[in-house]
Amino acid sequence: MIEVTISDSQHRILPLVPMLYVAWADNVLSPSEISVIKEKVSEISFLNEEDIALLYSWIDPKNPPSEELIQKWIKWIRTAAEKQELGSPDLLMDLSNKMAAAGGDSASWDSDEARTALNEIRNAIGIATLKDHRSILTEELREAEAKQFSKPGFAAAEMQILLEGEYSDLIQRVKRLLADPVFRLRHHENKDAYRSIVMEWCKLLAEQGYGAVAYPTEYGGSDDVAQYMNIFETLGFHDLSLVIKFGVQFGLFGGSVYWLGTKKHHDRYQTDIGSLKLAGCFAMTETGHGSNVRDLETTASYDIDSGEFVIHTPHYGAGKEYIGNALHGRMATVFAQLETRGEGHGVHAFLVPLRDDAGNELPGITVKDCGYKLGLNGVDNGRIWFDQVRVPRENLLDRFGSVDEQGNYSSPIESRSRRFFTMLGTLVGGRVGVPRAGLSAAKKGLTIAIKHALKRRQFGPEKQPETLLLDYPMHQRRLIPLLARVYGMHFGLQYLTRRFANRSDEDIREIEMLAAGLKSWSTWQTTAILQECREACGGKGYLWENCFADLKADTDIFTTFEGDNSILMQLVSKGLLTEYKREFNDMNPVKLVKYLVGEVSFAVEERLGARSTNEEHLRDDEYHLDTLRHRERHLLKSLAKRLRAYIKSGMDAYDAAIRCQTHLLALGRAYSERVVLEQFVLALKACEDPGLQRVLDMLCDLFALHLIEEHKAWYLEHEYMSAKKSRAIRKTIDRLCLKLRPEVSALVDAFGIPDHLLFAEIAVGEQS
């Protein structure tokens, strides 16, 4: 509640303020309006001369109320309005009554004489219906309030430090490196030339030591995977082909050797991988088996006589597909079905040399270029087939499964399924990195679109300068909630990185789930955000020079590589189900009853909250968190019920899950959104600078409400939210967009994208 100091006269005429505010809303008080007010006020006997004089000073057309006075009125009205629902059918009179009560003079104002006067004034102020009063009292008010914040309330540089956190120095170093002319961004016509340039860029980064940062110091690194992720993300401001090439070499290839191999492999290869002396591939995906890795068909049969593995592609469709570095790589980590002594042991990884030092393919290796792609044409993706290729036994990356000379298989992990998932662990790093690259692309796209909207004028009232795009409410509605979303993605993905960097055997399952969920959710956001930004820049957004061509094309694959989002989201939900079952099974009867009672009372509380529409409530983080948690929990419980019913009815678990696919997807998404909001709220709470906190608070509210609005059909359908509340949320979002309008320029500056990386002609340069 805002504290308001107020004089006696002001107190007494307070109930007239809402009407005066509405009357002045058009900046004009007509003579007839003035005369009615004067006449009616004179009939109110308890107002003294001083009161009348004050009132007259407020209705003088030669001296319209000052901005300061209007702001005062707004505060008074807000104070009263906050005590009640703005949805009242007779809003203006109700407000008057409230203000009379606030002024301590409700008894006097409750007289017939006063009531009649108020009624007639209300009818005279030129606006026909109560609804119209309402729109002025809500929409006008918010605009007037927004004027208070014409300058950003915080320094972009400070926000940037908050966003970059402890890796800020590293990030600046990478950006400075990318300012070198050799990294100049340009259009590439020919893929082969482009690929060579990207390879050169990768080597330059390796020379700086950036390729190896995640590896132990003995192999030239810093043993710091978070550093790696920050470099990866920063490169995302530059060229996404470079990002992916970098990730394939140091993350996937290097990561697989490090994670799946043992000391002999590390000693022999890790340093050369980090320095890019040894370029390599991560050859997992096959044409016939994209997401379904478990069923891939390449074989690795152990030949006891020679002590070698024979790597073989059984048919054309079992060739490795989309393999990055396939044209430049000299070696590949190949995933194949291990067979020894006539028995299969499932998918394992093998180091297979592809080319000699001169770059010629070795015998039995066939590599075919994947050709031009929708984007990422600086990455040499190819297909690889193996025709009875022999590699020594040591080339099995044998951390989780080994074969001795006699061909006996052994593994530290007994469960075949757990072993499989442990070996897939290399992919988790990719799933942490990819959405961060996508985040950079989204930040860059939004920066361009917002800076353009702050320079570009189009249409306008007659004989006046044209209007700035970002001053159109529609344009604000298009871009500002996306800005809030990008901030959410940022905090969510930072959390994921922290968890990944500090993972242990205990929480690896949870982190895999987290990575699968946030990777999918974030990359879908990136695609949607870039599309909106491109359209918001119109034809300019279509020119290559303004970056959207590459940003959109290069990130488009993010939603389906490193795990197809639709598949990953189902994995997330299956993980949640497993947790849920455990939680449920662990309960003793007393706990169970408590649990069920808890659920019921939670439901009642929700129901009570369904109609609350006051701003304080709508902007309460707890309300946001509850709302997102409720959806996740509800989706989880109803999913568990559905599955149980199917299975009890005799369906096998596979079929049951297939039937629930869309349900699984919705749950995975609800989970991801809840996690991201939690992280946003935590980041907000951890922020100690009041300027930053104020704007983060608005962004966080906007982020949450915009998500709730996106799912409002669900909330309405499940009676978690009334129609009235849904409308109040929409208005609060509009209001937040307007309030954030003066802050957006600094908010995108805080992404810290220097001009040489921002690049786009429409974004770099002066703003209005």
Q: Could you tell me the smallest distance in angstroms from the CB atom of residue 123 to a second copy?
A: 13
Check if the beta carbon of residue 177 is closer than 8 Å to that of residue 203. no
With CB under 8 A as the contact rule, which of the stretches 98-106, 219-227, 390-398, 642-650 interacts with a second copy? 642-650
Q: Is 292 in the site for a second copy (CB under 8 A)?
A: yes
Structure tokens at 558: 């993010």
- Give the type of residue at 386: F
d(CA 729, CA 245): 44
Count other Cβ atoms within 10 Å, centred on residue 147: 13
Q: Among the candidate windows 263-271, 354-362, 492-500, 530-538, which touches a second copy by CB under 8 A?
A: 530-538
Regarding 759 and contact with a second copy (CB under 8 A), the answer is no
C-alpha span between 459 and 121 (Å, rounded): 38
* DSSP run (H or E) holding 340: strand 331-340
Among 79, 108, 291, 612, binds a second copy (CB under 8 A): 291
Provide the minimum distance between the beta carbon of 301 and a second copy in the complex, in angstroms, as a whole number.
22
Q: How far is the CB of 477 from a second copy (least distance, A)?
A: 6
d(CA 82, CA 1): 8
* Minimum CB–partner distance for residue 457 and a second copy (Å): 8
Give burial (CB, 10 Å; 0-12/13-18/19+) of 585.
exposed
- Say how far apart CA 484 and CA 695 lie, in whole Å: 10
Catalytic residue among 339, 512, 562, 678: 562
- Which window, 46-54, 240-248, 460-468, 622-630, contacts a second copy (CB under 8 A)? 460-468
- State which of positions 541-560 bind a second copy (CB under 8 A): 541-545, 548-549, 552-553, 556-557, 559-560
Q: Rule CB under 8 A: which of 330-389 touch a second copy?
A: 370-375
Question: What's CA 41's distance to the chain center, in Å?
Answer: 55
Residue 560 has φ and ψ, to the nearest 5°, of -125, 0
634 binds a second copy (CB under 8 A): no
Considering only the stretches 120-128, 165-173, 176-184, 263-271, report the one whose residues sit in contact with a second copy under the rule CB under 8 A: 120-128
Q: Is 247 or 375 the residue whose CB approaches a second copy more closely?
A: 375
Stretch that binds a second copy, among 358-366, 533-541, 602-610, 624-632 (CB under 8 A): 533-541
CB of 640 to a second copy, least distance (A): 12
Site for a second copy in 179-208 (CB under 8 A): 187, 189-191
Q: Tokens in use for 584?
A: 């449920």
Instruction: Give which of 628, 188, 623 is closest to 380, Cα–Cα.
Output: 188
Give the shortest CB-51-to-a second copy separation in angstroms.
Answer: 27
27 binds a second copy (CB under 8 A): yes
Note whether 136 binds a second copy by CB under 8 A: yes
For residue 137, which of 182, 102, 87, 180 has the smallest C-alpha distance?
Answer: 87
Quick one: which H or E segment has residue 531? Answer: helix 508-536
Smallest separation, CB 667 to a second copy (Å): 13
531 binds a second copy (CB under 8 A): yes
* Residue 562 a catalytic site member: yes
User: Which listed residue (227, 337, 565, 573) binds a second copy by CB under 8 A?
Assistant: 565
Please state, in angstroms and rounded to a whole number, the distance separating the CA atoms of residues 20 and 23. 5
Quick check: 319 and 382 in contact, CB under 8 A?
A: no
Residues 207-266 that bind a second copy (CB under 8 A): none
Q: Is 25 in the site for a second copy (CB under 8 A)?
A: yes
- For residues 706 to 735, the per-residue mask of contacts with a second copy, x marking binding by CB under 8 A and - elsewhere, is ------xx--xxxx---x--xx--------
Q: At what angle do helices 168-178 and 225-235 cross, to 10 degrees?
A: 40
Q: Are 236 and 436 in contact (CB under 8 A)?
A: yes
**Count of CB atoms within 10 A of residue 276's CB?**
22
Looking at the annotation, which residues are catalytic?
Answer: 562
